Amino acid sequence: MGPGPSDVHPRVLDALGKGTIGHLDPYYLELMDRMQQMLRDLFQTANRMTIAISATGSAGMEAAVVNLIEPGDSMLVCVNGVFGMRMADVATRAGAAVTQIKRPWGEVFTVDELKQGLAQAKPKVVGIVMAETSTGAWQPIEEISRVVHEAGSLLLVDTVTALGGIPVEVDAWNIDAVYSGTQKCLSCPPGLAPVSFSQRALDVILHRKTKVQSWYLDINLLANYWGTDRVYHHTAPVNMTYALYEALRIIFEEGLDKCFARHMRNHQALRAGLASLGIGYAAQDGHQLPMLNAVRIPDGVDDAATRSALLHRFGIEIGAGLGEFRGKVWRIGLMGYSSRANNVLLFLSVLEQLLAEQGYPFEHGSSIAAANAVYAT
């Protein structure tokens, strides 16, 4: 129940253990095609260049940045947590002239703030994190996309924690490049990074003046492997493809709308239970992620001791705060297969016991009653 990786569904673990075949085997290439279509459906896009990068989510970030950015290009990065900071660092390393606009941790950006940043930087690319894993903040994208494109810029969106837990509508929101990871709401082991590039983004990549900084992440080369030609590029992680394929099947068997509703319902139950204990959220009201619950540690409660007891006595992992939230916030994950009512109720029950041991005042049983009231409606 931490910020990732989430619990892996048993069916995904079974798929991961299947016999390895060649990465140019006809069956494997057929599997890639079917997985590619499911990724398009999950991103809600018709983008031809929708693939899984053979590396973790951070490589998805790198792939998006290094393909769109050439040395000297202007990039505007929205920073309100760790992963906005990381995107700015990646862009700087790719040679971009980076301008940062910032919000306090836990808050989200407004359209007016984007307009001011766009006027100042006149960027080729705007990068923003939709679901900031370090703060639990849920950034609206649609209106921001509109002003970014009115300014003539490309929009790059981090959906590492978002994908599979809340709607990500690449075509409807006119997103030019998007990346994610397998280990959050997809409940697959870490190791692949789903990405998607719009035709507009591909045209920019095709007409670069310089080669893409990374040979391994060059979309021009990867397109030949994922396209009809199947030109050898690298040895793909065959068993991870099995795993992601099965993870996507599980999501679509449930149905996207039901999947999103499950994440929200378990979040609402957890939030109600925590509220009964006097524990509030770190993210801005109205912008709290259902799958990543960043909550403020109550006064007088020992952060490290509580997390250690949760893990070693009860087998429950939650995440510590990062950066400005270090020692101030717990990050409780309800991602993918981990987003289950029994996890919510078990966690609240155990948390009550640990808080009582530390002398924290609350009405015993109140969190379970509050969560069950949500489930009963």
Sketch the domain layout of the chain as residue ranges: 10-253, 255-376
| Superfamily of structural domain 255-376 | Aspartate Aminotransferase, domain 1 (3.90.1150.10)
What does the alpha-carbon distance between residue 189 and residue 205 come to, in Å, rounded to a whole number? 30
**And the tokens for 348?**
């609240």
CATH 3.60.10.10 fits domain 10-253? no
pLDDT at site 229: 82
pLDDT of residue 230: 84
pLDDT of 195 reads 98
Q: With both helix axes pointing from N to C terminus, report the angle between 26-43 and 238-254 in degrees, rounded to the nearest 10.
A: 40
d(CA 368, CA 265): 15
Is the CB of residue 108 less than 8 Å from the CB of residue 285?
no
Residues in the chain with pLDDT < 50?
A: none
Q: Where are the alpha helices (DSSP H) in 1-128?
A: 10-16, 26-43, 57-68, 82-93, 111-121
Angle between helices 256-276 and 341-357 (to 10 degrees): 20
Phi and psi based region of residue 327 (left: phi greater than 0; alpha: psi -120 to 50; beta: remaining): left
Quote the CA–CA distance of 224 and 369 in Å, as a whole number. 56
Q: What is the pLDDT of residue 227?
A: 84
Whole-number pLDDT of residue 310: 98
How far, in Å, CA of 194 to CA of 205, rounded?
18
Q: How many Cα atoms within 13 Å fall on the side-chain side of residue 172?
A: 10
Tell me, what's the pLDDT at 199? Answer: 98
Q: What is the DSSP string of 321-356?
A: P-GGGTTTEEEEE--GGG--HHHHHHHHHHHHHHHH
Are 106 and 99 in contact by the 8 Å Cβ rule? The answer is no
